[in-house]
Amino acid sequence: MRKIRLLLLPALLFGVVIAAAAKPPVLWTPPPGFWSTPTVPGYGRIHYMPKDAYQPDPSQTYKIVFALTKAGAKPDDVSPSLDHIARTVNLYVAAGVPLSHLKFVGIAYGAATPLALDNAHYRAEFGVDNPNLKLVQLLRKDGVDIAVCAQAVAEHDFKYAWVSPHVTLALSGLTTVTVLEHQGYALMPL
């Protein structure tokens, strides 16, 4: 009996290794056009569901401060925090809320701080162009204020002059969030 177990052990281990190395099956592939970026082209993809619950009211004004804390996985990746703002804009506009009813501010600090650098200084720091600048400009065009914490800029040993002219230099992330919350903004941590 022991010999049989010893003979079956390699076969069992081989099966486990093969199963672990196999890719999981693709369960579903969305059809063409399933994802869209209706307002911020190329960013913040959504699949709008017009009959689902908790639809924004187009007659209301929405005030949100986004705490941007994540950098891209690699220096040439867009910050996922910044992309989430684009997704939020796309969702609200797809639901019929006019851009003029969106009062959005994104404040970058911590790991997200470098997204605020101008291209020359981002390239000097990371060896690639700043992938966030195009999205920052698109969001600004849609009325979203993207700011950076001056304390975080200093903590990263960046000079204030290196901050992109499309980014607002704020006293701090802490004061930006609390001041805006006192003005009725909802906090969305990203």
pLDDT value at position 14? 55
Is the pLDDT confidence value at 5 over 90? no
Nearest to 83 by CA among 59, 112, 103: 112
The mean pLDDT of 132-160, rounded to a whole number, is: 98
Q: H/E element holding 108?
A: strand 102-108
Confidence of residue 21 (pLDDT cuts 50, 70, 90): low
Determine how many CB atoms are found less than 10 A away from the CB of residue 84: 18
Superfamily designation of domain 1-190: DsrEFH-like (3.40.1260.10)
Residue 56: is it exposed, middle or buried by C-beta count within 10 angstroms (0-12/13-18/19+)? middle
Q: How far apart are CA 168 and CA 117, in angstroms?
A: 11
Evaluate if residue 120 carries a pLDDT over 90: yes
pLDDT digits (tens, 9 = 90+) for 32-90: 999 999 999 999 999 999 999 999 999 999 999 999 999 999 999 999 999 999 999 99
Residue with more model confidence, 16 or 26: 26
What is the rounded CA–CA span in Å between residue 52 and residue 49? 6
Mean local confidence (pLDDT), 112-119: 98
pLDDT score at 28: 87
Percentage of the chain beyond pLDDT 90 is: 84
Min mean pLDDT across 12-21, 30-39, 53-62, 177-186 is at: 12-21
Binning pLDDT at 50, 70 and 90, where does residue 189 land? very high
Q: Please state, rounded to an integer, the average pLDDT across all residues of the chain.
A: 92
Distances in whole angstroms, Cα of residue 26 to Cα of each of 20, 22, 30: 16, 12, 11
Q: Residue 103 contacts by C-beta under 8 Å, 6 or more apart in sequence?
A: 61, 62, 63, 64, 143, 185
